[in-house]
């Protein structure tokens, strides 16, 4: 009896992840149909604008007008087919397909939400990239720190302080690049402190990071109230980085305006993503970093200075976070408001985990979050009947879903968060 | 043969313990010098000093000078040796000293090439890794010394024996002439041990000198040219295998006459206590770790599960104690099915569990000894009335147990972390054995313990056996299994290869099974039994 | 014994018999017995924090900075200005938090002679304000402390607090015609329940999937802010144009003991009682034993038969309930309505309190009294001396750092220690 009970359990057990994903795909397709595919007026069309809203170098191309109902039906069909195939056969790249299904869902949603109206798709993708920038930079900082074994949840605090430093220096010196440099410097200093706490004093890394966050919130609000509010023009009015079009590349339709017509900070983010990837996986330093993060004692026995590696990485990460902080002020609105980072530092950490501690993965995840962010603004414009507050919750809910590991658990570096004792 | 290394008067103290006490040691060229001592004797500390991980408080190190980067501290030399100061592993490596640690210093997610070149990376332009050059060199070393490895394999996918080869290649890659091997056979099957020994002899033929740290008398007799015995941080004597016996060595190690033989009375087994049928269990990576295992353990008998660590024993024990889900098969205790029951229910059925990792799984180090002693029973009367804890009863019981089980501790109120390894294990044993238990599952119960504690724990297990308890003993130490068990089962890749009576069992036969040879094939090469002899415990 | 510890890949980093760094560095300094250290360290941490706060006040005071330009010519002026700045600030702080003992004495004399209590009431107003401010801190600190005991870092206290407050307010104003002895407990229960549910979600995620509660509770915080925005502008909005709830019924209010404007309410005593209950729960019951064991070593707890899932859920739910009560006590005892942003800062404050009180209920109470005093004094400091209230956050952040890294304080004051026993609270990204 017990044997059959266990056999039954065994059968139930073989409903593994592969099958679950198939069910998810199917459910997504059905949901799409139920939510978006019904009650559509015949002949209604959705227009996707493919030219950016601002004056752009890109060669103009005609907008994409799709018949709403057939498009949605086609997407539903695709999701259902993928779901059935996944259930029966199971694909090797099931995770990537999950992304495809998610894209279908979102596209169907957009087609529905903008029915009968026009929707600037390129503009939204472009703004997704821009909004993803601080998240991606935060994620890169996280990767630099955690790959060497130091957990850093103080990214939020570092970005907040750097944001303020950037705008003040930029206003006073009337030079945005000096502001950026100051932000990088402040990021380095604060993260050096965190590194000292984590590596030399061997303090609980989450506690010390929380202290930094508290201090950052207090200090920036203090300075804001004490000085910035009264002297806005002298201290808190820096202007922002102008959009720079990369010659030739910016002429490409669709891709051009999205990738090649941006502010300096966005370009820095793209460059740093590639740089960090090369650094981590192709250089001598990167090999040592990875070793220290996985098995510091092994690295120690080979003569590598674990403490030094961690210090350097955390400080470099802090500098990247400094750039991320600068985005909020001199890259975006040109002034500092209290607690303007709004949790982006933590969302960056979620992007890092989602991206399996790899720069390109984190970049992709950041785009996802940036997309969610810019979506809720667009939805408000489209007057979609969901209260704006709920839309604003979207990035946070997505983060939580991501963290449950439903999209595949990854292992952090083995020595993550553990102080190294010689 | 000329000397290549001399240690003179090495002394190292840690808070509360003198790990090395004025130790003198010499190493000749082309020699295999065994450093013998029980756990805690100071062997690893001494070698860590030689390798630059620790600094000695007193004493000097003399080496044969190398042409590159010599760091002479003074001109005093003897036999052509020069004093050096070794401040870090980098210095040691520069002097041609290499060490293979007991717990491998390999980074699992990296490849063999990456692991080997870590810290001495081949680069293009000083920044970018040149994996091809390094891999080429690894292949050359592989050929020269007969150490087969695939440079592009990921270390985490390699079996333990191959990982050890990677560790040795790491040393040769850095042109080490003096190789220190710390307890290298702990994780190997008997066949792999033989392979390692022939590798060592090969290395020696090519001019290397080896320091071999171990606590196993059998190995020392087999492979060493000279043996130095350490006890409590001091050198007790230096001799050669020809001039000594295992009993004499054991006495030197422990400082008194040691009973190498385990005295086990012959008992008739009783009722079946534990019954396992066709058990299948997955490991953390969703592979089948236990693949159709069946056996039973009766009252008054000890079933020993032999096998190199990593063949499913850990997952088996976890499944039996409710800590890991079972996907097929049955477990019964005294007839009651307990497959996939929760751990507490299994404990309540009368099962005692002495876990493999005593500090991580057996104790809460930050809590006082008395709390640790009731970790499984705190919610039962008399320790609790409803949800209220009766502290006085707990403390009284704890004091009694500490006395009864000879736990050396200043009081029951100190945190468990202050106890030595042996006493920590005694706390666990006291906790588990003082409950009314029908079945004891002991996983590596004497790992890392000193001889006195080992003897004590063996004695306690045998005592429980006499009292009628069934015992399942899991250990990679074949000698321990042979000495204590009534029957022996060998596990390899999740299967039980064979179950044989322990009396007169043939080590060679067991070794073949442990290496994966099928029972019928192994029996053709070596008979399972070789006659009834007194079995030596031999740590 | 250095050798045996290398046996295990233990994630507990309890340092025992650690060898000193290369070449035993002799430590100099004052040797303080460990028992005194437990008390001394928090005190010194707060003191140092205040000192640094004073420095911040001085260097951001334009008037004082101006006097330093002439430092070498007129050092006295500069120093006097510095002292004056600090004295005004901290004087306001002290007065705002505790009041003036002489005034109290005068007030009592007046009351005894003429039965006129107005002077007395005015004199004890600062100290009652401090106790009022301390009340939600006690709850919040207990919430985070309970979480710490189970190895959980509940940064979500702020969100749980807010939801609890909204729930209590809803019960308070929605339900009418209930006698107070039912309405009040009902409202308190609603508040605790609201916080408990809000914490149960990340608790469940952690227990079932291992998702780290740090990020999840922070996300829940932000979600709760948006949710309360919506509620306060929509379904729970009082008539009028301010985004606040209607006032609660008088039957749901926590009773006060003195006539207005003194706001000292029964919530304070409730907090003390709850602290006692938490103490009993943690240290005298089997449930508390389990929670503490899971927090100290989840692996050993599992092996001993304890259910990690159940304990994590229990700890988070209780923690959330306590945080909910923090918000509830504010609504039912002080404001009687809920508005936007009233939770600001409580979450992080609670963390500081739990750390300062070493996660022990009695320590938390003491720390809360201190912080309550500081906060209510800071409000006065802001109005009297113009120092933004955020200075408290700065001091708090510093205090946390000092508590978390006692080595800094020890180095600063040259204190030697017999044996280092630091227990690491968290273990990276949930396994």
Q: What is the structure's pLDDT at B535?
A: 55
Of chain A residues 300-339, which have a CB less than 8 A from chain B?
300-304
Count CA within 13 A, CB hemisphere, residue B22.
Answer: 1
Helix axes C308-330, C346-356, angle to 10 degrees: 120
A261, A56 Cβ separation under 8 angstroms = yes
Which residue did the predictor score with more confidence, A154 or C124? A154
Of B102, B361, B417, the CB nearest to C299: B361
Q: Would the CB atoms of B340 and A290 count as touching at under 8 Å?
A: no
Of chain B residues 1-20, which have a CB less than 8 A from chain C?
14-17, 19
What is the arithmetic mean of pLDDT over C76-105? 79
A209, A151 Cβ separation under 8 angstroms = yes
Question: Number of CB pairs < 8 Å for A and B?
Answer: 90
Q: Could you report the per-residue pLDDT of C277-296, keeping only the tens digit for each?
A: 999 999 999 999 999 999 99
Of chain A residues 46-75, which have a CB less than 8 A from chain C?
none
* Dist CA A43 CA A271 (whole Å): 45
Q: Would the CB atoms of C305 and B343 count as touching at under 8 Å?
A: yes
Residue C286 forms contact with B (CB below 8 Å): yes
* Dist CA B253 CA B273 (whole Å): 39
Q: Would the CB atoms of A284 and B329 count as touching at under 8 Å?
A: no
Residue C431 forms contact with B (CB below 8 Å): no
Residue A4 forms contact with B (CB below 8 Å): no
Residue B222, token pair as written in the block: 């087999």
The residue of chain C with its CA nearest to that of A220 is C390
Q: What is the structure's pLDDT at C32?
A: 61
Place of tokens 């700045």: C85
Place of tokens 């945005």: A176
* Dist CA B51 CA B91 (whole Å): 8
Cβ contacts of B111 on chain A, cutoff 8 Å: none
State the pLDDT confidence band at C431, using cuts at 50, 70 and 90. very low
Which residue did the predictor score with more confidence, B94 or A191? A191
The residue of chain A with its CA nearest to that of C388 is A222
Residue C337, token pair as written in the block: 């309505």
B468, B301 Cβ separation under 8 angstroms = no
In three-state secondary structure terms, B370 is: helix
Cβ contacts of A223 on chain C, cutoff 8 Å: 60
State the pLDDT confidence band at C351, using cuts at 50, 70 and 90. confident
* Dist CA B435 CA B380 (whole Å): 12
Q: What is the structure's pLDDT at A91?
A: 67
For chain A, percent of residues with pLDDT exceeding 90? 30
Cβ contacts of B421 on chain C, cutoff 8 Å: 1, 4, 7
Q: Kindly report the nearest CA distance between residue C183 and chain B, in angstroms.
A: 30
Q: Would the CB atoms of A349 and C215 count as touching at under 8 Å?
A: yes
Q: What is the structure's pLDDT at A398?
A: 76
* Dist CA A384 CA A111 (whole Å): 12
Scored b (16 or more CB within 10 A) or e, C48-83 reads bbbeebbebbbebbeebeebbeeeeeeeeebeebbe
Of chain B residues 189-248, which have a CB less than 8 A from chain C?
none
Q: Is A368 exposed, middle or buried (0-12, 13-18, 19+ CB in 10 A)?
A: buried
Cβ contacts of B347 on chain C, cutoff 8 Å: 304-305
Cβ contacts of A295 on chain B, cutoff 8 Å: 105-108
* Dist CA B359 CA B423 (whole Å): 12
Residue C390 forms contact with A (CB below 8 Å): yes
* Dist CA B53 CA B83 (whole Å): 18
B369, B414 Cβ separation under 8 angstroms = yes
Q: Would the CB atoms of C405 and A397 count as touching at under 8 Å?
A: no
* Dist CA B30 CA B115 (whole Å): 27
In three-state secondary structure terms, A347 is: helix
Pairing state between β B288-298 and B336-337? unpaired
Residue A222 forms contact with C (CB below 8 Å): yes
Q: What are phi and psi of B332, to 5 degrees?
A: -125, 140
Of chain A residues 313-352, which have a CB less than 8 A from chain C?
342-343, 346, 349-350
Q: What is the structure's pLDDT at C427?
A: 46
Comparing B210-219, B222-231, C56-65, the range with the smallest average pLDDT is C56-65
Q: What is the structure's pLDDT at A12?
A: 40
Of B53, B114, B170, the CB nearest to A287: B114
Q: Which of A364, A188, A358 is nearest to A280 (CA)?
A: A358
Q: Which of A331, A330, A372, A328 is nearest to A350 (CA)?
A: A372
Q: What is the structure's pLDDT at C313?
A: 94
Q: Would the CB atoms of B330 and A3 count as touching at under 8 Å?
A: yes
Q: What is the structure's pLDDT at B274?
A: 93
What is the arithmetic mean of pLDDT over C77-81? 79
State the pLDDT confidence band at C145, using cuts at 50, 70 and 90. very high
A348, A366 Cβ separation under 8 angstroms = yes
Residue A55 pLDDT > 60 = yes
Q: Would the CB atoms of A6 and B327 count as touching at under 8 Å?
A: yes
* Dist CA C148 CA B53 (whole Å): 35
* Dist CA C169 CA C173 (whole Å): 6
For chain B, percent of residues with pLDDT exceeding 70? 96
Q: What is the structure's pLDDT at B487?
A: 93
Q: Kindly report the nearest CA distance between residue B132 and chain A, in angstroms.
A: 13
* Dist CA B12 CA B50 (whole Å): 12
Pairing state between β B487-492 and B302-306? parallel
What is the arithmetic mean of pLDDT over C56-75? 76
Average pLDDT over chain C, rounded to an integer: 81
Q: What is the structure's pLDDT at C365?
A: 94
The residue of chain A with its CA nearest to that of B326 is A6
Contacts of A244 (CB under 8 A, 6+ apart): A261, A262, A263, A264, A267
ipTM of the complex: 0.80
State the pLDDT confidence band at A83, using cuts at 50, 70 and 90. confident
Which run of H or E residues covers position B26?
Answer: strand B17-28
Contacts of C232 (CB under 8 A, 6+ apart): C243, C244, C245, C338, C339, C340
Q: What is the structure's pLDDT at C18?
A: 36
Q: Would the CB atoms of A393 and C211 count as touching at under 8 Å?
A: no
* Dist CA A312 CA A296 (whole Å): 15
Q: Would the CB atoms of C6 and B447 count as touching at under 8 Å?
A: no
Length of chain C: 431
Eight-state DSSP code of residue B238: E
Of C10, C290, C301, the CB nearest to B359: C10
Of C205, C220, C348, the CB nearest to A214: C348
Of chain C residues 2-61, which have a CB less than 8 A from chain B?
2-12, 14, 16-20, 22-24
The residue of chain A with its CA nearest to that of B104 is A298
C219, A399 Cβ separation under 8 angstroms = yes
Q: Could you report the per-residue pLDDT of A150-196, keeping only the tens digit for each?
A: 999 899 999 999 999 999 999 889 888 999 999 999 999 999 999 99
Q: Could you report the per-residue pLDDT of A357-413, keeping only the tens digit for each?
A: 999 989 988 988 888 788 777 777 776 677 777 777 877 887 787 777 655 556 788
B115, B143 Cβ separation under 8 angstroms = no
Q: What is the structure's pLDDT at A94?
A: 66
* Dist CA B401 CA B423 (whole Å): 12
State the pLDDT confidence band at B533, using cuts at 50, 70 and 90. low
Q: What is the structure's pLDDT at A90?
A: 67
Of B53, B88, B118, the CB nearest to A288: B118
* Dist CA C410 CA C428 (whole Å): 27
Residue C423 forms contact with B (CB below 8 Å): yes
Residue B365 pLDDT > 80 = yes
CA distances B47 to B3, B42, B180, Å, are 17, 9, 7
Residue A249 forms contact with B (CB below 8 Å): no
Q: Kindly report the nearest CA distance between residue C38 and chain B, in angstroms.
A: 16
Residue C99, token pair as written in the block: 């009041």
Of C6, C284, C301, the CB nearest to B103: C6
Comparing A222-231, A392-401, B428-437, the range with the smallest average pLDDT is A392-401
What is the arithmetic mean of pLDDT over C181-199? 93
Q: What is the structure's pLDDT at C22?
A: 36
Q: Could you report the per-residue pLDDT of C106-119, keeping only the tens digit for each?
A: 888 888 888 777 77
Beta-bridged to residue B226, according to DSSP, are B33
Q: What is the structure's pLDDT at C6?
A: 33
Q: Would the CB atoms of A214 and C351 count as touching at under 8 Å?
A: yes
Residue C2 pLDDT > 90 = no
Residue A236 forms contact with C (CB below 8 Å): no
Which run of H or E residues covers position B385?
Answer: strand B384-385
Which residue did the predictor score with more confidence, B336 or A69? B336
Query: Is the whole-model pTM more than 0.90?
Result: no
Scored b (16 or more CB within 10 A) or e, C411-425 reads eeeebebeeeebebb
Q: What are phi and psi of A207, to 5 degrees?
A: -65, -45
Beta-bridged to residue C21, according to DSSP, are none
Residue A13 pLDDT > 50 = no
Cβ contacts of A417 on chain C, cutoff 8 Å: 426-429
* Dist CA C228 CA B234 (whole Å): 71
Q: Could you report the per-residue pLDDT of B134-149, keeping only the tens digit for each?
A: 999 999 999 988 888 9
Residue C90 pLDDT > 90 = no
| Chain B touching partners, 3 or more CB pairs below 8 A | A, C
Residue B536, token pair as written in the block: 């030596």
The residue of chain C with its CA nearest to that of A221 is C390
């Amino acid at each position: 009896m017990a044997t059959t009970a266990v056999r039954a359990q065994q059968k139930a057990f073989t409903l593994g992840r592969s099958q679950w994903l198939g069910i998810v795909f199917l459910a997504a397709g059905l949901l799409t149909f139920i939510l978006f595919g019904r009650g559509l007026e015949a002949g209604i069309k959705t227009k996707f604008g493919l030219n950016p809203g601002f004056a752009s170098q890109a060669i103009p191309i005609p907008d994409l007008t799709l018949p709403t109902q057939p498009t949605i039906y086609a997407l539903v069909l695709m999701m259902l087919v993928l779901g059935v195939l996944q259930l029966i056969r199971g694909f090797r790249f099931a995770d990537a397909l999950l992304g495809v299904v998610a894209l279908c869902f979102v596209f169907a949603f957009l087609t529905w939400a903008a029915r009968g109206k026009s929707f600037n798709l390129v503009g939204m993708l472009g703004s997704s990239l821009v909004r993803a920038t601080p998240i991606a930079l935060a994620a890169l900082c996280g990767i630099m720190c955690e790959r060497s074994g130091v957990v850093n949840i103080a990214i939020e605090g570092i970005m907040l302080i750097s944001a303020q430093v950037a705008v003040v220096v930029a206003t006073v010196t009337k030079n945005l690049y000096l502001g950026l440099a100051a932000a990088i410097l402040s990021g380095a200093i604060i993260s050096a402190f965190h590194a000292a706490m984590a590596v030399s004093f061997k303090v609980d890394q989450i506690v010390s990071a929380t202290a930094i966050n508290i201090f950052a919130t207090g200090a920036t609000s203090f300075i804001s109230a004490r000085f910035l509010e009264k002297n806005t023009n002298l201290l808190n009015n820096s202007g922002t980085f102008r959009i720079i079009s990369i010659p030739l590349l910016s002429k490409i339709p669709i891709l051009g305006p999205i990738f090649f017509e941006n502010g300096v900070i966005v370009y820095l983010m793209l460059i740093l993503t590639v740089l960090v990837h090369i650094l981590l996986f192709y250089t001598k330093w990167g090999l040592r970093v990875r070793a220290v993060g996985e098995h510091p004692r092994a690295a120690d026995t080979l003569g590598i200075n674990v403490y030094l590696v961690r210090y350097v990485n955390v400080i470099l990460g802090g500098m990247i976070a400094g750039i991320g902080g600068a985005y909020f002020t001199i890259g975006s609105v040109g002034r500092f408001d209290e607690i303007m980072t709004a949790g982006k530092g933590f969302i960056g950490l979620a992007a890092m985990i989602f991206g399996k501690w790899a720069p390109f993965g984190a970049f992709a995840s950041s785009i996802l979050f940036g997309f969610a962010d810019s979506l809720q603004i667009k939805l408000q414009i489209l007057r979609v009947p969901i209260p704006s507050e709920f839309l604003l919750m979207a990035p946070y809910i997505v983060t939580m879903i991501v963290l449950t590991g439903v999209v595949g658990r990854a292992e952090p570096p083995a020595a993550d968060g553990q102080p190294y004792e010689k | 043969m000329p000397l290549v290394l001399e240690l003179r008067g090495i002394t190292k103290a840690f808070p509360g313990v003198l790990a090395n006490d004025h130790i003198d040691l010499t190493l000749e060229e082309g020699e295999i010098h065994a450093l013998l001592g029980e756990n805690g004797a100071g062997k690893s500390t001494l070698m860590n000093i030689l390798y630059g991980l620790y600094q000695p408080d007193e004493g000097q190190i003399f080496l044969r000078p190398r042409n590159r980067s010599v760091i002479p501290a003074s001109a005093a030399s003897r036999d052509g040796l020069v004093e050096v100061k070794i401040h870090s592993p980098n210095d040691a490596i520069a002097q041609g000293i290499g060490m293979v640690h007991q717990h491998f210093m390999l980074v699992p997610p990296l490849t063999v090439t990456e692991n080997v070149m870590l810290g001495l990376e081949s680069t293009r332009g000083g920044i970018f890794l040149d994996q091809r050059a390094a891999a080429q060199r690894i292949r050359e070393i592989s050929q020269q010394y007969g150490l087969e490895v695939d440079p592009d394999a990921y270390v985490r996918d390699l079996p333990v024996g191959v990982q050890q080869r990677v560790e040795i290649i790491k040393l040769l890659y850095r042109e080490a002439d003096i190789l220190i091997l710390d307890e290298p056979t702990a994780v190997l099957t008997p066949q792999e041990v033989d392979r390692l020994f022939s590798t060592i002899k090969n290395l020696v033929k090519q001019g290397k000198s080896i320091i071999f740290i171990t606590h196993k008398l059998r190995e020392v007799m087999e492979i060493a040219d000279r043996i130095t015995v350490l006890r409590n941080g001091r050198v007790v004597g230096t001799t050669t295998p020809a001039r000594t016996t295992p009993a004499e060595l054991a006495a030197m190690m422990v400082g008194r006459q040691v009973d190498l033989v385990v005295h086990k009375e012959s008992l008739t087994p009783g009722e079946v206590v534990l019954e396992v049928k066709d058990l299948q269990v997955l490991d953390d990576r969703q592979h089948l770790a236990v693949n159709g295992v069946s056996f039973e353990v009766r009252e008054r008998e000890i079933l020993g599960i032999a096998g190199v660590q990593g063949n499913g024993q850990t997952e088996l024990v976890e499944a039996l104690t409710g800590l890991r889900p079972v996907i097929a098969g049955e477990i019964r205790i005294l007839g009651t099915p307990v497959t996939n029951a929760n751990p507490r229910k299994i404990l309540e059925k009368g099962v005692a569990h002495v876990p493999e990792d005593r500090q991580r799984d057996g104790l809460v180090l930050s809590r006082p000894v008395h709390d640790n002693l009731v970790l499984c029973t705190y919610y039962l009367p008399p320790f609790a009335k409803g949800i209220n804890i009766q502290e006085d009863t707990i403390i009284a019981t704890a004091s009694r147990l500490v006395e009864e089980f000879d736990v050396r501790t200043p009081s029951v109120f100190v945190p468990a972390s202050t106890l030595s390894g042996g006493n920590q294990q005694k706390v666990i044993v006291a906790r588990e054995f003082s409950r009314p238990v029908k079945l004891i599952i002991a996983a590596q119960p004497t790992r890392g313990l000193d001889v006195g504690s080992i003897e004590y724990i063996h004695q306690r297990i045998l005592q429980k056996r006499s009292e009628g308890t069934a015992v399942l003993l899991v250990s990679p130490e074949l000698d321990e299994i042979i000495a204590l068990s009534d029957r022996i089962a060998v596990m390899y890749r999740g299967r039980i290869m064979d179950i044989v009576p322990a009396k007169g069992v043939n080590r060679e036969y067991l070794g073949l099974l442990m290496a994966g040879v099928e029972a019928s094939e192994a029996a053709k090469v070596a008979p399972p039994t070789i006659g009834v002899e007194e079995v030596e415990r031999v740590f | 014994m250095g050798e045996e510890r290398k046996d295990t890949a233990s994630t507990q980093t309890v340092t025992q018999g650690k060898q000193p760094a290369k070449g035993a560095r002799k430590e100099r300094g004052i040797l303080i017995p460990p028992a005194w250290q437990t008390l001394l360290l928090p005190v010194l941490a707060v003191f140092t924090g205040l000192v640094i706060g004073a420095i911040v006040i001085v260097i951001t005071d334009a008037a004082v900075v101006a006097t330093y330009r002439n430092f070498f010519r007129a050092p006295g002026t500069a120093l006097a200005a510095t002292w004056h700045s600090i004295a005004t600030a901290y004087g306001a702080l002290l007065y705002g938090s505790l009041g003036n003992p002489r005034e109290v004495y005068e007030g009592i004399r007046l009351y005894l002679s003429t039965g006129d209590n107005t002077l007395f009431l005015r004199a004890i107003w600062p100290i009652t304000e401090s106790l009022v401010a301390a009340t939600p801190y006690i709850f919040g600190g207990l919430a985070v402390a309970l979480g710490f005991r189970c190895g959980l870092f509940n940064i979500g206290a702020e969100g749980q607090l807010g939801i609890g407050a909204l729930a209590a307010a809803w019960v308070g104003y929605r339900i009418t015609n209930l006698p107070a002895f039912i309405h009040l407990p009902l409202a308190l229960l609603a508040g605790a329940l609201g916080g408990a549910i809000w914490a149960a979600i990340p608790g469940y995620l952690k227990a079932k999937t291992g998702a780290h509660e740090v990020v999840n509770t922070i996300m829940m915080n932000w979600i709760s802010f948006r949710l309360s925005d919506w509620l306060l502008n929509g379904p729970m909005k009082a008539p009028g144009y301010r985004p606040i709830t209607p006032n609660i019924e008088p039957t749901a209010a926590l009773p006060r003991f003195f006539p207005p404007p003194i706001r000292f309410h029964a919530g304070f005593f409730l907090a003390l009682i709850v602290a006692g209950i938490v103490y009993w729960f943690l240290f005298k019951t089997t449930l508390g034993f389990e929670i503490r064991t899971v927090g100290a070593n989840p692996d050993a707890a599992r092996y001993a038969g304890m259910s990690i899932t159940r304990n994590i859920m229990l700890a988070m739910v209780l923690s959330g309930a306590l945080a909910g009560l923090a918000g509830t006590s504010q609504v039912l005892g002080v404001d009687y309505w809920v508005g936007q942003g009233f939770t600001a800062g409580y979450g992080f404050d609670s963390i500081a309190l739990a750390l300062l009180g070493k996660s022990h209920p009695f320590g938390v109470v003491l720390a809360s009294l201190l912080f309550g005093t500081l906060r209510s004094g800071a409000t006065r400091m802001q109005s009297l001396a113009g120092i933004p209230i955020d200075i408290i956050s700065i001091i708090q952040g510093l205090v946390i750092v000092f508590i978390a890294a006692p080595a800094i304080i020890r180095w600063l004051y040259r204190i030697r220690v017999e044996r280092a026993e630091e227990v690491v609270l968290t273990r990276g990204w949930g396994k």
